[in-house]
Amino acid sequence: MDIAKMTALELGKAIKNKEISVKDAVLSVFDAIEKKDKDINAYVSLCKEEAIKKADEIQKKIDDGSLSSPIAGVPVSIKDNICTKGIKTTCSSKILGDFKPPYNATVIEKLENAGAIVIGKLNMDEFAMGSTSETSYYGPTKNPWDLNKVPGGSSGGAAAAVAADEAIFSLGSDTGGSIRQPASYCGVTGFKPTYGTVSRYGLIAYASSLDQIGPIAKDVKDCAAIMDIISGKDKFDGTSLDNDFNSLLDSLNGDVKGMKIGLPKECFETEGLDASVKESVLNVADKLKELGATVEEISLPFIDYVIPAYYIIASAEASSNLSRFDGVKYGFRAENIEGINDLYCATRSEGFGSEVKKRILLGTFVLSSGYYDAYYQKALKVKAIIKKHFDEVFEKYDLIICPTAPTTAPEIGKSLSDPLKMYLSDIFTVSVNIAGLPGLNVPCGFDKNNMPIGAQIIGQRLSEKKVLNAGYAYQQNTDYHKMKAEVK
């Protein structure tokens, strides 16, 4: 039995039934990391000693019956922008250096209370700014399906680790598609929940009105189980919602009869959409139609405006959020400086990478006097129009299905040489963040080079049950999510 290939729920059940020990589960993941990660570079830090010690503690609690969570004893890997007490958390940036948070993010507290064991921190685009995981200070992460290609971003390490069986499941963050797009490129399941359903306390902010933590896993059932644990109101996050889904995992029944699904014509007619991606995603709609859903063409006329609106809003918020990294409080500090202004300038110039600096400059520009109304204020008006249009669509339809990304994973180096092309890779995902909606990526096929393709299932705010159930129905009737990358 290859433990590292198991889903979180399969492993949790085997541990509960005493078929596998918690320590063996933890060691099997570290073995996989040792064999594969020198090629993939999914991890930026590991905590093997602490994880093994924790395994013994969790085993005792499972044995005495005080821990009954379905993922008790299951190892979890965490994106490097989610705070973990005493474990280095750097956002894959030089400017945070060897920063070790003195506290856990709320999601980490919830996972640990459920018996999950943190084994390490995952590589990412610096401060979550990028779509390829190439902007990391620790070097690029590689796609397990083809080491010459990117895994997507910014949660590229999280998706690559799950795809390569270097992680049972992982937590990522999604600001404009950063869970769903890498999940698509790596052939795994990734879920971005409704804005506010999961606390952002302890998530190092990129764009606060768009950021959302969510799971990347091997199937929809695992995503539902993880969501049951990490969602809910948090006194430390004023934007968190007091939602009660009454167990997402238990609500999965695979019944989509009577569901109305919209296929946005703009998403299937856009320039740059790969033919194999289009065909595979339309096949998802056909499969759900076979299972009893109604599928109709709809229109999302705002598609051409989502990228400019998103990058204006996200960069503006990044400009504000990243002003705290100045060399005074924590992290990297430039040397041989003269005076406070020199300290700020030198630290930020040396500590931030080029993509982060680019977005800070753009954000500062759109917030500056004379340009605020012309850019930022206008982008907020577009955001309101997008939300309104989605509301109108969801009055008639339960779900929307479209591609997660217009192509499969590009080669390493190609996107960074063409930033506009990299930004446009988010065209199908950013509107979900702008409107605060739940979105799920499910693997649905492969292109001619055997690279994974993902379909995106989108629902109205707080319709997590519908979204996950549609994904579950699809995975019950297909095997794409079971296909494994063979890392040479």
Task: Tell me how far apart the alpha carbons of residues 316 and 358 are, in angstroms, rounded to a whole number.
Answer: 12
Q: How far is CA 402 from CA 66, 224, 287, 437, 466, in A?
A: 43, 21, 14, 14, 16
- The tokens of 245 are what? 């889904």
Q: What is the 3-state secondary structure (H, E, C) of 187-208?
A: CCEEEECCCCCECCCCECCCCC
119 three-class SS: strand
Whether residue 320 is preceded by a cis peptide bond, meaning omega within 30 degrees of 0, is no
| CB 36, CB 164: distance < 8 Å | yes
Q: Strands, E, within 311-427: which ranges?
A: 399-403
Catalytic residue among 170, 178, 319, 425: 178
Measuring CA to CA, which residue among 484, 468, 475 is closest to residue 287?
Answer: 475
Which are the contacts of 88, defined by CB distance < 8 A and separation ≥ 6?
Answer: 44, 45, 98, 99, 100, 121
Q: How far is CA 185 from CA 83, 139, 180, 286, in A?
A: 26, 18, 9, 22
Task: Give the dihedral of Cα atoms 232, 380, 175, 244; nearest 10 deg.
Answer: 20
Catalytic residue among 154, 155, 319, 431: 154
CA end-to-end span of the chain: 20
- Is 23 in the active site? no
| CB 182, CB 190: distance < 8 Å | yes
Task: Tell me how far apart the alpha carbons of residues 42 and 485 are, in angstroms, rounded to a whole number.
Answer: 14
How would you class 395 by CB atoms within 10 Å of its CB: exposed for 0-12, middle for 13-18, buried for 19 or more? exposed
Catalytic residue among 36, 79, 121, 149: 79
CA angle 459, 463, 466 (to 5 degrees): 80
Residue 192 CB: number of other CB atoms within 10 A? Answer: 31
Strand pairing category for 117-122 and 75-79: parallel
- The tokens of 227 are what? 């969501």
Q: How far is CA 188 from CA 164, 330, 456, in A?
A: 10, 35, 12
Q: How far is CA 339 from CA 94, 115, 155, 287, 328, in A?
A: 22, 48, 37, 65, 12
- Is 154 in the active site? yes
Task: Tell me how far apart the alpha carbons of residues 369 and 326 are, in angstroms, rounded to a whole number.
Answer: 23
For 297, the enclosing helix (H) or strand (E) is strand 294-298
- Is 178 in the active site? yes
Active site members: 79, 154, 178
